[in-house]
Amino acid sequence: MTNDRSPHDASSGGTSSGSESDGSDSSTEDEFETDGITLAEFHEACQREGRPVLTAGAVARTLEQPHEAVSEQLETLAKQGDLERLSVSTDPVVWYPSELEDLTDRERVVIFPKRREIVVDRPDQFTRAQLAQFAHLADANGEDGYRYVVRPEDVWQAPHDSFDALARTMRQALGQRSEELEEWVHSQWDRAHQFRLRTHEDGYTVLEAKSPEVMGNVARQKLDEEHVHAPISESEDWVREGSEAAIKRLLYEAGYPVQDHRDLETGESLSVDLQVSLREYQQTWVDRFAEAGEGVFVGPPGSGKTVAAMGAMAHVEGETLVLVPSRDLARQWADAVAEYTSLEPSQIGQYHGGQKNVRPVTIATYQIAGMDRHRSLFDDREWGLVIFDECQHVPSDVYRRSTHLQSRHRLGLSASPIREDDRQTEIFTLVGPPIGTDWQALFDAGFVAEPELEIRYVPWGDDEQRNTYTSAEGREKYRIAARNRGKVDEIRYLLSSHPDSKALVFVDYLEQGRDVAAALDVPFLSGETPHHERRRLLEEFRRDERDLLVVSRVGDEGIDLPTADLAIVASGLGGSRRQGTQRAGRTMRPAGGALVYVLATRGSREEDFARRQLQHLGRKGMTVRERTLERSGDGDDRDSQADGETSET
């Protein structure tokens, strides 16, 4: 870490700017003079006031400190070179950070410990890699500005064996020590090590607490006879078989993640060699998985999560069960394992509605694995590793039954582990902690190309549909807006504007898909399409024998769509944020120049849904533009287009 970074600690130097008086007025000023104002507290005052330049009076008012003492401390910061002073006509002196004069190419970190936020300008790759170990990238403006938030779950899953090791990583990332932030992180680290599950010498599972107090005040308040048989000691409970996952979830929700130290079966050994080289970040994912024994690989489509999962298989070298949402993905997984590992096709089995073969590596659908009549086949085999593909589904009532399958190692894969029912924390309790690289880092390194994403607000194709929308209610409004006939003309226009592109058109409604496919004279791939027909169409698209497909929501996760240069989302804006991620991600591959157009009917609820659904992609570093199309008298809206573009979404 270089030493040319500017001072930015918001917590060193003692008294917090927001501390309350203890009622003793006589000691306030003396204490303030002793402790002083830090540069980061000045930054916080600037943020509260909404200005980069402040008078001493404004600083005193914002930080609730005496004016005279503040003036002295500002003079001290100026002598240290942290602040500059400027005399102006409207006020004797205004103050501003010295670093404002030299922000063009320097990395700068500002810490806000009370909010547990870290704002970084122009961070280098080392800083971002260190921050990713204990903080969540909450926002990236696409112009070298990043906002990280340190959440409890980020500390709980930090890949360190001790708090001291975590503290060293924090200091490397921040350039110095922030006592207030470290104190909070230490408290969360302690919470993450209060409970553990272990195997008793007689074979049953024990929940063990660090102290009788935390066992009595937390675990025994949250758990009942459905979860535990009886106490063994003041700090140990005998766990009912099969309730381990529920215990982990309940204590996680209470703010106490459980360390899983059970002696689970390692499964039959299976020699697996990876036939391809992992990228540096993929190897980091595998290394972190190897340390923890569990986790969720989180990365954008195209980042190679499946190949990284095979790297985890090679590390474990045990028989592996892969759970997927559909039989199409099961087939694609089987092909990929045969292609990228040393395993023979005879060692790879699929278990779903099409075929039922259990082999050393078995790929099964969640639905089949959760059925009672099939469960024994999976329970009887000792798996060394269970992989949950598209693991954002795991919290759902149908899919979570598959998490009862016990294995020493559990691995999830997801481009966007978010759920509209806010149950995403269950993903990490049932499978493992998140492991990933922020999207912007992959864009910057060129591993994944950032697509150009544009929301286009399309006028109604005719007054009849608009009037029908106005009088409709509830979900009928979504359906009418989605099927706006003006979108067909817009799709034609976009395709003609990119004549050499391979394109995918996404729709949410079968009727709309059939109408669009008929208008374009191309196939419509949906859940009703026979499996053999799906395979044929997708292979033709991959081999460049076909350059356009209309796809229903079956393409979001149920199948591995080939890479496209152009994606047009014609409907589906009432769906989830995850759906927006999946559809935008169909163009995220190493080759650049990809385009994503999202069509929303102007003046309908689709406008708000489009912004909301894609907003989190902007926070991941993608640039999201907007354009409003104006309908002209003859129905051709091309010449009257309003170029109202923005990258703020």
Task: Assess whether pLDDT exceeds 60 at residue 104.
Answer: no
Residues 87 and 229 placed together within one structural domain of the fold: no
Between the alpha carbon of residue 350 and those of residues 70, 324, 370, 596, the distances in Å are 71, 11, 15, 34
Tell me whether residue 241 is in a domain: yes
Residues 171 and 198 placed together within one structural domain of the fold: no
* 3-state secondary structure at position 480: helix
49: exposed, middle or buried (Cβ count in 10 Å: 0-12, 13-18, 19+): middle
125: exposed, middle or buried (Cβ count in 10 Å: 0-12, 13-18, 19+): exposed
275: exposed, middle or buried (Cβ count in 10 Å: 0-12, 13-18, 19+): exposed
**Domain closes at, from 437, 463, 494:** 437
Backbone angle region of 348, left / alpha / beta, with phi > 0 → left and psi within -120 to 50 → alpha:
beta
CA distance 369 to 347: 19
Tell me whether residue 120 is in a domain: yes
Query: Angle at which helices 39-49 and 67-79 pack, to 10 degrees?
Result: 120
Write down the pLDDT at residue 367. Answer: 81
Mean residue pLDDT across the chain: 77
Residues 318 and 352 placed together within one structural domain of the fold: yes
Residues 234 and 296 placed together within one structural domain of the fold: no
Q: For the segment 12-50, what is each residue's pLDDT rounded down to a tens digit?
A: 333 333 333 333 333 333 333 335 788 878 877 877 776
Residues 37 and 137 placed together within one structural domain of the fold: no
DSSP-H helix ranges across 101-234: 125-131, 152-156, 163-174, 179-191, 212-214, 220-222
What is the number of residues in the chain? 649
Write down the pLDDT at residue 563. Answer: 66
The enclosing domain of 81 has a CATH number of: 1.10.10.10
Residues 454 and 403 placed together within one structural domain of the fold: no
Q: Which residues have C-beta within 8 Å of that of residue 225, sequence separation ≥ 6?
A: none
Write down the pLDDT at residue 447. Answer: 64
Residues 502 and 572 placed together within one structural domain of the fold: yes
Higher pLDDT, 608 or 510: 510
pTM tops 0.85, yes or no: no
Q: What is the mean pLDDT of residues 222-230?
A: 93
Contact between 375 and 369 (Cβ < 8 Å): yes
In this structure, what is the dihedral angle of CA atoms 458, 464, 469, 473, given to the nearest 10 degrees? Answer: -160
* 3-state secondary structure at position 608: helix
Contact between 337 and 343 (Cβ < 8 Å): yes
Residues 408 and 512 placed together within one structural domain of the fold: no
Read out DSSP for 412-476? EEES----TTS-HHHHHHHT--EEE--HHHHHHHTSSPPPEEEEEEEPPS-HHHHHHHHH--THH
Task: Assess whether pLDDT exceeds 90 at residue 294.
Answer: no
Write down the pLDDT at residue 83. Answer: 84
Evaluated on CA atoms 624, 625, 630, 635, the torsion sign reads negative
Q: For the segment 440-454, what is each residue's pLDDT rounded down to a tens digit?
A: 666 666 666 566 788
Q: Which of 81-95, 116-130, 184-198, 470-484 comes out lowest in average pLDDT?
A: 81-95
Task: Assess whether pLDDT exceeds 90 at residue 120.
Answer: no
Cα–chain center distance at 596: 20
CA distance 453 to 614: 9
Residues 31 and 66 placed together within one structural domain of the fold: yes
Write down the pLDDT at residue 488. Answer: 93
Q: In DSSP terms, which residues pair with 335 in a beta bridge?
A: none
Read off the amino acid at residue 520. Answer: L
Tell me whether residue 19 is in a domain: no
Evaluated on CA atoms 488, 492, 493, 495, the torsion sign reads positive
Position 209 confidence tier, pLDDT thresholds 50, 70, 90: very high
Query: Angle at which helices 67-79 and 56-63 pack, to 10 degrees?
Result: 110
Task: Assess whether pLDDT exceeds 70 at residue 557.
Answer: no
Contact between 150 and 136 (Cβ < 8 Å): yes
Tell me whether residue 409 is in a domain: yes
Q: What is the mean pLDDT of residues 179-195?
A: 94
Residue 497 is inside which H or E element, if any? helix 486-497
Tell me whether residue 11 is in a domain: no
Task: Assess whether pLDDT exceeds 70 at residue 561.
Answer: no
* 3-state secondary structure at position 96: strand
**Domain closes at, from 398, 415, 437:** 437
Tell me whether residue 637 is in a domain: no
Number of domains in the chain: 5
Structure tokens at 309: 């999962």
Residue 228 is inside which H or E element, if any? strand 228-233
Contact between 156 and 190 (Cβ < 8 Å): no
Contact between 300 and 413 (Cβ < 8 Å): no
β-strands 348-351, 228-233: how paired? unpaired
Write down the pLDDT at residue 238. Answer: 95
Tell me whether residue 149 is in a domain: yes
The enclosing domain of 578 has a CATH number of: 3.40.50.300
Residues 219 and 303 placed together within one structural domain of the fold: no
Torsions phi, psi for 408 (to 5 deg): -60, -35
Write down the pLDDT at residue 451. Answer: 65
3-state SS, 298-367, equals: ECCCCCCHHHHHHHHHHHHCECEEEEECCHHHHHHHHHHHHHHECCCHHHEEEECCCCECCCCEEEEEHH
β-strands 136-140, 117-121: how paired? unpaired
Tell me whether residue 5 is in a domain: no
Residues 562 and 542 placed together within one structural domain of the fold: yes
**Domain closes at, from 60, 80, 101:** 101
Residues 169 and 257 placed together within one structural domain of the fold: no
Position 647 confidence tier, pLDDT thresholds 50, 70, 90: very low
Report angle CA 77, 79, 83 to the nearest 5 degrees: 45
| Structural domain boundaries, residue 165 | 108-190
Higher pLDDT, 522 or 12: 522
Task: Assess whether pLDDT exceeds 70 at residue 649.
Answer: no
Q: Which of 232-236, 328-332, 424-428, 543-547 comes out lowest in average pLDDT?
A: 424-428
CA distance 377 to 365: 13
Q: What is the mean pLDDT of residues 64-75?
A: 87
Task: Assess whether pLDDT exceeds 80 at residue 496.
Answer: yes
